Amino acid sequence: MAVRRRRRDEAAVRSFAAAVGLFSVLPVRGLDDVDRGHARGAMLAFPWLGALLGAIAGAVGGVAAWQQLPLLGPVLALATLAALTGALHLDGVADTADGLGSRKPAAEALSIMRRSDIGPMGVVTLVFVLGIQAMALASVPGPAWVPFAALTAAAMVSRLTVTVATVGNRFARDSGFGALFRAVTPRAGAIVDALLVAGALAGLGLLAAGPRGALVFAVAAAVAALVAWGWGAHLLRRLGGWTGDTFGSLIEITATVFLVGVAFGL
């Protein structure tokens, strides 16, 4: 029994380390050769990496808000989150906007998304995504730490959508970073993650604003999940499958909807 528990603990640590190494700039040893096993573990740990990064970013923003700088706090928090992820997901939402905005057929749109530059649609999308997120955080009432509990929750919920998406095998390309996660997540693992995230959301909501906060976080997460489903369905129809960039867009859009929902609800 103790041996099995130790093995489960070691597997959880390896999964989290894989998520850190793949989706953040934090250094991790022993991840030079990434395989499907690393990818599976990273996807299962992805929501919890989001919670960690969101909490770090929230702590930075909370210090500014505590110093009576309510507008600077959200901007610093989002800048910290972008720095911790190497702006990976922001780059994804910008590239996706450029590809979709081109109105080209799927193959040409995917080619545009692979370019290293960012076009006008990508720039405009980044401005609105970050602007809405910052204003939503600034609009959340309560003590300085309440908006940043919401940011922690948003980072966790948004990454769960990618964990769920990687249960399927509809990918637009056979190569590239995104293709590494083709059907990599076990359905049972995604369900367990979803249930655990729901519990964590309830806890964060209670800490933020009591029972009302738990309800608001739950409703915001449900709305964000519905929007994520609709956005994902559109991407699959338009582009024929997932890519790393579309996953980035899924994360940023889900986080934005969740934060707006919390701002309206609280």
Check pLDDT > 80 for residue 60.
yes
**Averaged over 103-121, what is the pLDDT?**
93
Domain residue extents for the chain: 46-265
**Averaged over 162-190, what is the pLDDT?**
90
Residue 151, pLDDT score: 96
195-198 CB contacts, 8 Å cutoff, 24+ apart: 196/47, 197/47, 197/156, 197/157, 197/160
pLDDT in tens, 66-88: 888 888 999 999 999 999 999 99
CB 235 within 8 A of CB 178: no
Residue 24, pLDDT score: 94
pTM value is: 0.95
pLDDT band at 2 (very low <50, low <70, confident <90, very high): low
Task: Enter the tokens of residue 145.
Answer: 């730490």
pLDDT band at 4 (very low <50, low <70, confident <90, very high): low
